[in-house]
Each structure stands twice: as C-alpha cells, then as structure tokens.
C-alpha cells in the first residue's frame, strides 16, 4: 500500500489528529483521483473518485488513531484500527484505495473537509457485501 499526504493535511499535529474525526472513503479503481498534494478540500478533488453508486456504502469513521513522532529518523507515523464496511451491495466496480478525510466542524462538508492522505493498493479489489480495509502492520502511513 503506497500513500501520499496532501499538503494541508501535513500541517495538523499529533494532538489534533489523535482527537479528530477522520473518515475513510473508498476510492474507485477506475477513477482518476487527484494526486496533486496542493488540493485543500475534498470538493476540490476531481469528480467520480468515490464509490458512491453502491447501496450500503457510506464513509466510515476511523478509530484507534495514534500519531508517533520519531525525531531520530525524522518521521511521523500515523496509525489507526482497521476499518470494516459491513454491507456494500451492487458494487460500481472495484476499489483501488482509501482516502482519509479530516472532518472540519460538526458535520461532513466536502467544501471544508480536508483530504489528509490517500492510500493506493497495488491491485484493485472487487467488493461484495462486507469489505475490510486492513492497514499495513507498520501503520497507515509514515511521512517525513
């Protein structure tokens, strides 16, 4: 699993991310999601990237969030619990990754919510029913 952090997402510190509401959105394998690190809001991403045409799908809330600063190696490790999407039906294709979204304010609003990090999988995964996002054992992402 490879990951890329969006620049605006990098500015949040460990205390902010550890206590934030972070959502996980599934990215369609056939989409051309924006990988420009300068994108500041979810609504600024190219349209059609999210698996929205499937019944039973909604963004999941990330839990078990931890942020570890490694000054010796000049790294920041972001980790969280694996995520289960319990009942996705009539899939609109395959899934190619997951986008972590920082929810800004009290409710989901793509015009202000911040894309933090995109995790792309090496191979597309077909979904039907329950679907698990299992993060790398080393953590969701490590960045410098």
Query: What's the pLDDT score for residue 30?
Result: 78
Query: What's the pLDDT score for residue 60?
Result: 93
The larger pLDDT score, comparing residue 34 to residue 83, is at 83
Task: Tell me the pLDDT tens digit for each residue of 60-109.
Answer: 999 998 888 888 988 888 889 999 988 887 555 688 889 999 998 778 88
Report whether 28 contacts 57 (CB < 8 A): no
Query: What's the pLDDT score for residue 14?
Result: 65
Give the angle 15-57-53 at the CA atoms, nearest 5°: 125
Q: State yes or no: pLDDT of 144 exceeds 70.
A: no
Tell me the average pLDDT across 29-54.
Answer: 80
Tokens of 90: 């009539």
Tell me the average pLDDT across 6-20.
Answer: 78
The residue extents of the domains of the chain are: 2-143
pTM: 0.86
Rounded distance between C-alpha atoms, residue 59 and residue 108, angstroms = 10
CB-side neighbour CA atoms (13 Å) of 26: 30
């Amino acid at each position: 699993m490879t990951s890329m952090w969006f620049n605006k997402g990098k500015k949040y510190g460990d205390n902010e991310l550890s206590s934030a509401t972070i959502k996980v959105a599934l990215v369609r394998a056939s989409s051309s999601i924006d990988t420009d690190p300068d994108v500041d809001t979810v609504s600024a991403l190219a349209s059609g990237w999210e698996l929205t045409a499937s019944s039973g799908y909604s963004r999941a809330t990330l839990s078990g969030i931890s942020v570890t600063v490694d000054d010796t190696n000049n790294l920041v490790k972001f980790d969280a619990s694996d995520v289960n999407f319990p009942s996705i039906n009539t899939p609109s294709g395959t899934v190619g990754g997951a986008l972590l979204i920082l929810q800004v304010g009290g409710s989901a609003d793509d015009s202000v919510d911040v894309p933090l990090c995109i995790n792309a999988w090496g191979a597309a995964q077909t979904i039907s029913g329950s679907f698990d996002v299992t993060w790398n054992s080393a953590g969701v992402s490590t960045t410098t």
